[in-house]
Amino acid sequence: MSADNQQGRLDKDWIVGFTDGEGCFHVAINKISGMSLGYQVLPEFRIVQHEKDEKVLFQLQEYFGFGGVRVNRKDKNGIRKEFRVRGLENLEKLSEFFRKNPLKTTKMENFELFSKVLELMRNKEHLTEKGLHRIATIASKMNRQVKPIFLRRK
Amino acid sequence: MSADNQQGRLDKDWIVGFTDGEGCFHVAINKISGMSLGYQVLPEFRIVQHEKDEKVLFQLQEYFGFGGVRVNRKDKNGIRKEFRVRGLENLEKLSEFFRKNPLKTTKMENFELFSKVLELMRNKEHLTEKGLHRIATIASKMNRQVKPIFLRRK
């Protein structure tokens, strides 16, 4: 197996399988001053790898034509890097990819909740108290189901 | 997305991507009485998932036509299950699959070391002191590079 054979454009099914294993759809709702409601909705997709595998992260970036590769964290096991996509426009293109090429694990359920949040944001619902509450409720069902700060307000 | 659409035979590139994320090629060298040299070489391939995703493990078993799905561990986060392949004959078929459909991450290097061990075993080298030492040296370069008990003998 030469290095050359590992090069080249990724296959869509490979991307789906790798995302089923390593991908993360996440919606953060951050308390932030300067926003009309005091909270910012921040959806993002990321795939984290040890830096020794940063090549596939750059290949993902090249495949999609958006997103960035950066350091995720450093610890005793070395540096982890991530392919990260933010921004509604790019996330909607990503979402379109996974609608055409469905995930095979239960990560599909997270993706569907994530897509729902994107749809609400496209309709500007995150700018209303009611919409923000709806988004926070959806976000609380994703991943480890931690309740966003927004829903823990007194 | 209906449950039906998630059914069906897996795609080979999806399997490669999922294995790049979640697969593990491992060679254990266990101290065991009853073996001529006192050590047993046990190569295995496994993919571990939370039991909520056991379906893809059974789909892998169905795709390959060998291997088994069983409990890997239980902890506070629930039950983890694994698709596991042991036995030289099946592992060689698996190895053939990944030669035709190469991994894209540095897991490829583990796979190549793993395949080398299979080749040595096919030639019965694990039954000689010299061959066993060679296998143990290869195994020590895999995964977290823990030195097998065999190489830590006094």
Checking if the pLDDT of A42 tops 50, the result is yes
Look up the pTM and report it: 0.89
Helix (H) or strand (E) holding B127: none
pLDDT, residue B5, reads: 43
Q: Which residues numbered 49-68 in B keep a CB inside 8 Å of some CB on A?
A: 49, 52-53, 56, 59
Checking if the pLDDT of A5 tops 70, the result is no
**B5: which DSSP letter?**
H
Alpha-carbon torsion angle A154, A45, A134, A136, nearest 10:
-10
In order of their start, the domains of chain B are 3-145 (3.10.28.10)
Q: Longest Cα pair distance anywhere in chain A, in angstroms?
A: 59
pLDDT, residue B54, reads: 97
pLDDT digits (tens, 9 = 90+) for A131-140: 999 999 999 9
Least confident of A4-13, A117-126, B69-78: A4-13
pLDDT, residue B1, reads: 39
pLDDT, residue B146, reads: 57
Note whether A21 contacts B20, CB cutoff 8 Å: yes
Note whether A21 contacts B21, CB cutoff 8 Å: yes
Note whether B21 contacts A16, CB cutoff 8 Å: no
Question: CA A105, CA A17: separation in Å to the nearest integer?
Answer: 9
Residue of B18, B59, B102 with shortest CB distance to A18? B18
B21: chain A residues, CB-CB within 8 Å: 17-18, 20-22
Note whether B14 contacts A13, CB cutoff 8 Å: yes
Q: Is B78 on the interface with A (CB under 8 A)?
A: no
Checking if the pLDDT of A49 tops 90, the result is yes
pLDDT, residue A38, reads: 85
What tens-digit pLDDT sequence spans chain B (154 residues)?
A: 344 444 578 999 999 999 999 999 999 998 888 777 788 999 999 999 999 999 999 999 999 999 999 999 999 989 999 999 999 999 999 999 999 999 999 999 999 999 999 999 999 999 999 999 999 999 999 866 556 666 666 5
The residues, ordered by sequence, that sit 6+ positions from A8 with a Cβ below 8 Å of its Cβ are none
Q: Is B88 on the interface with A (CB under 8 A)?
A: no
Question: CA A111, CA B152: separation in Å to the nearest integer?
Answer: 47
Question: CA B16, CA A151: separation in Å to the nearest integer?
Answer: 40
Checking if the pLDDT of A11 tops 80, the result is yes
pLDDT, residue B148, reads: 63
Residue of A16, A22, A112 with shortest CB distance to B14? A16
Question: CA A43, CA A41: separation in Å to the nearest integer?
Answer: 6
